[in-house]
């Protein structure tokens, strides 16, 4: 048997040959593997970014859907009862603490369900007001048919018949004017809710009185304040006018100085209000005085946010409102 004995110099030569073979297989040594590793890391990062973007879009879609459900099914039906004290300088003693409930902008049966309006009526009855005032837009005129709006007006009036307060009056809104004053008047009269269109009448307690006036819709019609406001009232004057921005024209009218309190709706308070941005959309005639109480010299203006919705069945940061106003001598 022959045994090959390798001397140390020959061992070094074989090790050098092996190292050269490795170098030939990978010419730049370990440096050649780094770009490949970097490429893998880049692909991994790209996948993570794609996954993050996908998660963001999915999360945004889910958030939008949740917000739509909340604003359409919950916020739209969360009734807010707001109480306000209104000081009036010439208030007769018989009307101290006189309570007025105001509801507005029902927009019956386009989006506002009959059962929801019944809930509103129940809430108003629980407040036991001395007077109930309805400041217009009982239905929506369009995009559904005129016949649909006419039938909705009849059904709305029947629900409003459930109001227990014997003193209740209504004004005309812009949607009501498009439907037709005669149709609205007939429906409300059948429900024992008189409609005041450029008319006024006294509300009496004992030997004292205040005057209630109702102006025609200022959005699609032409109110005549010389007819709506009494010429020589012997008590405070309350004016119903659907459009709040009409207050400026009331103030400019010769009889405007006689009005102590104007009640309006129309704006829906903006209906959808986003943090920092406010109302997404406001209607013509409801962009200056949007919601709440305003003091305009002697006259005060209160703008109710309304009950229903138009355009889309959503409310956000702007719940449906029932207002209870208590008159006090100031």
Residues 6+ apart with CB under 8 A from 150: 179, 183
Number of compact structural domains in the chain:
2
Same domain, 49 and 132: no
Please give the C-alpha separations between residue 164 and each of 120, 123, 125, 207, in angstroms, as whole numbers: 12, 11, 6, 25
Average pLDDT estimate for 100-114: 97
Same domain, 228 and 322: yes
Does residue 11 form part of some domain? no
Q: Domain containing 305: what range?
A: 80-329
d(CA 53, CA 60): 10
Same domain, 235 and 266: yes
Same domain, 142 and 249: yes
* Per-residue model confidence (pLDDT) at position 8: 46
pLDDT digits over 110-168, tens only? Answer: 999 999 999 999 999 999 999 999 999 999 998 999 999 999 999 999 999 999 999 99
Does residue 237 form part of some domain? yes
Of the segments 14-28, 40-54, 84-98, which one has the largest average pLDDT value?
A: 84-98
Q: For the domain that residue 159 is a member of, what is the CATH number? A: 3.60.21.10
Same domain, 183 and 321: yes
Percent of the chain, pLDDT > 70? 78
List of E strands, 122-180: 131-134, 168-170
pLDDT digits over 23-80, tens only? Answer: 444 444 444 445 555 656 665 666 656 667 666 555 555 555 665 566 566 789 999 9
* Per-residue model confidence (pLDDT) at position 63: 56
Sign of the C-alpha dihedral, residues 77, 78, 83, 86?
Answer: negative
Going by pLDDT thresholds of 50, 70 and 90, the confidence category of residue 187 is very high
* Per-residue model confidence (pLDDT) at position 73: 66
* Per-residue model confidence (pLDDT) at position 75: 87
pTM: 0.81
pLDDT digits over 292-306, tens only? Answer: 999 999 999 999 999
Same domain, 57 and 131: no
Same domain, 57 and 203: no
d(CA 209, CA 187): 28
Is the pLDDT assigned to residue 22 strictly greater than 70?
A: no
Average pLDDT estimate for 274-282: 93
Going by pLDDT thresholds of 50, 70 and 90, the confidence category of residue 325 is very high
Does residue 14 form part of some domain? no
Is the pLDDT assigned to residue 1 strictly greater than 90?
A: no
Same domain, 46 and 105: no
pLDDT digits over 214-266, tens only? Answer: 999 999 999 999 999 999 999 999 999 999 999 999 999 999 999 999 999 99
* Per-residue model confidence (pLDDT) at position 170: 98
List of E strands, 215-250: 237-240
* Per-residue model confidence (pLDDT) at position 31: 45
């Amino acid at each position: 048997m022959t045994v090959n004995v390798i001397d140390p110099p020959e061992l070094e030569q074989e090790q050098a040959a092996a190292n050269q073979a490795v170098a030939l297989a990978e010419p730049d040594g370990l440096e050649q593997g780094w770009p490949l590793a970097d490429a893998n890391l880049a692909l991994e990062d790209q996948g993570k970014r794609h996954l993050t973007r996908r998660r963001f879009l999915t999360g945004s879609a889910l958030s939008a859907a949740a917000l739509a459900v909340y604003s359409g099914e919950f916020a739209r039906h969360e009734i807010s009862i707001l109480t306000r004290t209104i000081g009036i300088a010439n208030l007769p003693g018989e009307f101290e603490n006189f309570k007025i409930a105001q509801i507005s902008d029902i927009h019956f049966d386009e989006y506002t369900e009959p059962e929801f309006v019944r809930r509103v009526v129940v809430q108003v009855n629980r407040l036991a007001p001395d007077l109930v005032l309805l400041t217009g837009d009982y239905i929506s005129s369009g995009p559904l048919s005129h016949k649909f709006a006419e039938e909705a007006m009849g059904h709305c009036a029947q629900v409003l018949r459930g109001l227990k307060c014997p003193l209740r009056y209504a004004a005309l809104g812009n949607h009501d004017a498009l439907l037709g004053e005669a149709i609205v008047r007939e429906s409300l009269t059948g429900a024992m809710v008189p409609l005041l269109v450029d008319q006024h009448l006294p509300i009496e307690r004992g030997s004292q009185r205040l005057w209630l006036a109702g102006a025609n819709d200022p959005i699609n019609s032409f109110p005549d304040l010389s007819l709506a406001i009494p010429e020589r009232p012997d008590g405070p004057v309350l004016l119903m006018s659907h459009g709040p921005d009409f207050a400026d024209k009331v103030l400019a009218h010769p009889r405007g100085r006689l009005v102590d309190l104007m009640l309006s709706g129309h704006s829906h308070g903006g209906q959808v209000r986003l943090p920092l941005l406010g109302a997404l959309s406001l209607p013509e005639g409801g962009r200056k005085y949007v919601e709440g109480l305003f003091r305009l010299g002697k006259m005060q203006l209160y703008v109710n946010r309304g009950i229903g919705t138009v355009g889309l069945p959503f409310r956000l940061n702007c719940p449906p409102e029932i207002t209870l106003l208590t008159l006090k001598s100031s």
